[in-house]
Copies of this chain bind each other. A is one copy, B any other.
Amino acid sequence: MTSEREAGQLVRELLQGSAKAAARLITLVEEGDPECQNLMREIYPHTGSAYVVGFTGPPGVGKSTLVGKVAKFLVRQGMEVGIVAVDPSSPFSGGAFLGDRIRMTEEVGREEGVFIRSLGSRGKMGGLSRATFEVVRILDALKKPFIFIETVGAGQDEVEIIKLVDTSIVVLSPGSGDEIQALKAGMMEIGDLFVLNKSDREGAERVALTLEAALEWGGQPDKWKPSVIKTIAIQEKGIDDLWEEVGVHRRYLTSQGLLETRRKQRIQTEILRIIEEELGRYLRNSFNSKAGFEKEVEKAMQGKKDPYTCARDLLSSFLPPL
């Protein structure tokens, strides 16, 4: 629990560019600190300039390494980067891949101007996507021109995150059959760009062709056509090509007015999420204070009523008709 004064001080430090204040604020977001909403309110007017890039893909394709190398590439050109690594697989955090992330953090985290933070899903109030967007806002207010979100694209929350970034990159690698999974799982619709990492591995050419064919197939003439970029992140190969494509996509979004559209959708989702969460809290408080909820639960326990009817009856008792 943070006092209002402390919180205000943190926000001032954040806006002056303090990474330490950013780290502390992110922790408050993670902990669901009651001051959060006020903090985010203060921060909000100072955000909106960052460009958000999402990296998603199955475990083991080298996402962390790739994200790290792209960040390094930007830093060398004098740009700053914020990285949010979303780890929904905790409580069990998939040891092997976490190792890569730790190595990436150690390597890139030392670079001047890079801010890295991992977000687990456990115990998060209001879900992963809300927390992620809040962290992005904090890094945005820290004036990082680029913010990367790395996820394994596992849960619904993550798909939501990736849908709402400015440029979303789906990372795959040859030999794992991932391209088939990606096709089946509807990942093709989510990716603005596709990276085939570890492209020196056997079968890379075939996978690239499969992907390109699939992208060709679904494409419409006036729509964005995602390209497939081959990288070998660990050798820093293809990173420049990838970043060039991000630029191409960014210009496309801007020229078509789609950047606005995406950001609007993000805000809409944000507002709806906050409303749903607030409502959930309102409901729980409202029901806890009333005997009505308990009574309905009892009826369901005794098999006199099903949970759906209970829910309907409880709702209609306090909502105005639509």
Binding site for B on A (CB under 8 A): 37, 40-41, 44-45, 48, 57-59, 88-95, 121-122, 124, 127-128, 152-157, 159, 176-178, 181-182, 184-187, 260, 263-264, 267-268, 270-272, 274-276, 278-280, 282-287, 293, 296-297, 300-301, 303, 306-312, 314-315, 318-320, 322
Residues of B within 8 A of A92 (CB): 57-59, 152-154, 178, 181-182, 185, 187
Closest to A91 in B: B185
Task: Judge whether B90 and A307 touch: CB under 8 Å.
Answer: no
Instruction: Determine if B303 and A48 form an interchain contact, defined as CB atoms under 8 angstroms apart.
Output: yes
B95 touches A177 (CB 8 A): yes
A154 with B185, Cβ < 8 A, contacts A58-B94, A300-B271 known: no
**Total identical chains:** 2
Identity of the chain B residue whose Cβ is nearest the Cβ of A316 in the assembled complex: B278
Q: Is the CB of A271 within 8 A of B311?
A: yes
- Residues from chain B with Cβ under 8 Å of A311 in the complex: 271, 274-275, 278
A221 to chain B, nearest CB (A): 27
Query: Within the complex, what minimum Cβ distance (angstroms) separates A102 from chain B?
Result: 13
Shortest CB-to-CB span from A187 to chain B, Å, is 5
Chain B residue numbers with a CB within 8 Å of A127 are: 156
Given A271-B297, A282-B322, A297-B264, is A159 in contact with B91 using a C-beta cutoff of 8 Å? yes
Q: Give CA–CA (A280, B297) in the complex, Å.
A: 21
Q: Are A301 and B263 in contact (CB under 8 A)?
A: yes
Residue of B nearest to A267 (CB): B300
Quick one: closest B residue to A47, CB to CB?
A: B303
Q: State whether B181 touches A95 (Cβ < 8 A).
A: yes
| A108 smallest CB distance to B (angstroms) | 24
How far is B155's CA from A154's CA once the two chains are assembled, in angstroms?
9
Contact in complex: A306, B93 (CB < 8 Å): no
Assembly CA distance A267 to B301 (angstroms): 7
Closest-CB distance, A273 to chain B (whole angstroms): 8
Contact A320 to B322, CB < 8 A, known contacts A58-B92, A263-B301: no
User: Which of A41, A159, A184, A311 is most buried by chain B, counting CB atoms within 10 A of its CB?
Assistant: A311
| B41 pairs with A308, CB closer than 8 A | yes
In the complex, the answer to whether A91 meets B153 with C-beta atoms within 8 Å is: yes
Distance, CA A116 to CA B138, complexed state (A): 45
Name the contact of A93 in the complex, choosing from B155, B185, B275 (C-beta under 8 A).
B185
A270 to chain B: which residues have CB within 8 Å? 300, 307
Residues of the B chain whose Cβ atoms lie less than 8 Å from the Cβ of A283: 272, 275-276, 279
Asked, given contacts A155-B155, A185-B93, whether A44 binds B267 with beta carbons under 8 Å apart, the answer is: no
A89 touches B296 (CB 8 A): no
The residues of B that contact A296 with a CB separation of less than 8 Å are: 271
